Amino acid sequence: MNYPQARPRRLRTTPAMRRMVAEHRPDAADLILPAFVREGIAEPVAISTMPGVRQHTLDSLRKAAAEAVAAGVGGIMLFGVPEEAKKDAVGTPGTDPDGILQRALRAVREEVGDDLVVMSDVCLDEVTDHGHCGVLDARGRVDNDATLLRYAEMAVVQAEAGAHVLGPSGMMDGQVGVIRRALDAAGHQDAAVLAYTAKYASAFYGPFREAVNSSLKGDRRTYQQDPPNAREALRELDLDLAEGADMVMVKPGLPYLDVLRRIADVSPVPVAVYQISGEYAMVEAAAERGWLDRERAIEETLTAFRRAGAGMVLTYWATEFAQRLRAAG
């Protein structure tokens, strides 16, 4: 028999060999921890649809941020959940200097300083009584340009509270440019903008609704991207770059690896991906039932993002996975 001379299996023979020739691997510094802080609670509240994730108090958020730093995590993305009675049609808590997100930003910066990149969500969905990402017009539609004015105010207030990076997630046309100009005019030229360049109207956001006590009525299909479209994401990328985006992102992650790859191939700025609540919940639920190996599944999904071109990954497993990497040496 003519046995093969080329044997790729030679490079798979031992764990040390596989580790040495690995083309991609997640690193703790690439990970960003999304975290929720809720107003009016005395103790952290478990999120039933996201086992292991909690709505934090300011004190427990401080501890989570310090734990992330100790593990080597690169950043933290904060979402504020105000008391229901404070929500209104224009999202007033989002621009109140004493709103829960602004207080959280100050608390985290006081706790960790510049040892963690502190990011904040610039969006109205958590702070409006209708749950949409923008201001509604007389017919109940999201008014793009009226919303931009609110985003500009929010970004400045968040930067003044200590955010290193502002993340406009509402998918309003022109949001990056409006925020960039507002930040510069207010003297926050060093604050960076992470553009949610390709944020799709996905079924995988379900658990997030509980995490932020969403008041959403209807859906977000008129402003988030339509799942069948990939080329459209490249148009969004061009617009965000022209408006001054410092970083860009694809959201969700696993269902849109093809979009992530296309953006990573052409983007001149760093590319992030958000492994969202539904992706997290699927793995946790399957692992709870013994249907898959939880630790291997986590690592495999994070590796997939790096292989597809992401330089940064927002994941609810950020601290846990970073701790695992540190323990492994």
State the Cα–Cα distance between residues 241 and 255, nearest whole angstrom: 24
Q: Which of 86, 87, 199, 217 is catalytic?
A: 199
State the Cα–Cα distance between residues 263 and 196, nearest whole angstrom: 12
Is 251 marked active-site?
yes
Do residues 69 and 31 make contact, with C-beta atoms less than 8 angstroms apart?
Answer: no
- Does the N-terminal peptide bond of residue 15 adopt cis geometry, omega within 30 degrees of 0? no
Q: Which of 63, 86, 217, 251 is catalytic?
A: 251
Q: Which of 2, 65, 83, 49 is nearest to 207 (CA)?
A: 49
What is the b/e burial string over 56-93, where b = at least 16 CB atoms within 10 angstroms of the residue's CB? bbbebbbebbeebbebbbbbbbbbbbbeeebbeebbbb
Is 86 marked active-site?
no
Contacts of 202 (CB under 8 A, 6+ apart): 224, 227, 251, 252, 255, 276, 278
**Helix-then-strand count for the chain, H and E:** 11, 10
Q: Which amino acids are annotated catalytic? A: 199, 251
